[in-house]
Amino acid sequence: MDETRLKPRADTLPKVARPRLHKVILLNDDFTPRDFVVMILKAEFRMDEGAAHQVMLTAHRRGACVVAVFTRDVAETKATRATDMARSKGYPLLFTTEPEE
Ligand code: TYC
């Protein structure tokens, strides 16, 4: 038997750090039409109508809502694209990102 090929104990296996995930947060405002918010959520975050409507309503009622979590690059790219899409139509809609605890 080859004693050098024993399976390593679980507690001595090297730990590989997973990248921290970042939340994309939708902020409420008084000007962007509800239907436009729903359309952006469907287009940029691939949400279905029901999920997009729920997220929009939560942001509308509470001031903000977490849309989804991604790696940092993806979260920032999606937040920027969604915000720019709204700006191009003249709306102040804002998506931000923050690291998960
Ligand atoms: N509050 C907006 C309105 O009444 C709708 C809205 C909802 C805007 C959610 C932004 O994140 C938002 N027209």
Domain ranges of the chain: 20-99
* Tens digit of each residue's pLDDT, the chain (101 residues): 455 555 555 666 678 888 899 999 999 999 999 999 999 999 999 999 999 999 999 999 999 999 999 999 999 999 999 999 999 999 999 999 999 98
Q: Does the CB atom of residue 34 touch ligand 1 within 6 A?
A: yes
For the entire predicted model, the pTM comes to 0.86
DSSP-derived letter for residue 10 is G
The whole-number pLDDT of residue 78 equals 98
| Ligand 1 atom nearest to CA at 26 | 11
- Give the closest residue to 44 by CA, choosing from 15, 85, 14, 3: 85
In CATH terms, 20-99 corresponds, of 3.30.365.10, 3.30.1390.10, 3.30.70.890, 1.10.10.10, to 3.30.1390.10
The whole-number pLDDT of residue 101 equals 82
In total, the chain counts a number of residues equal to 101
Q: Does the CB atom of residue 60 touch ligand 1 within 6 A?
A: yes
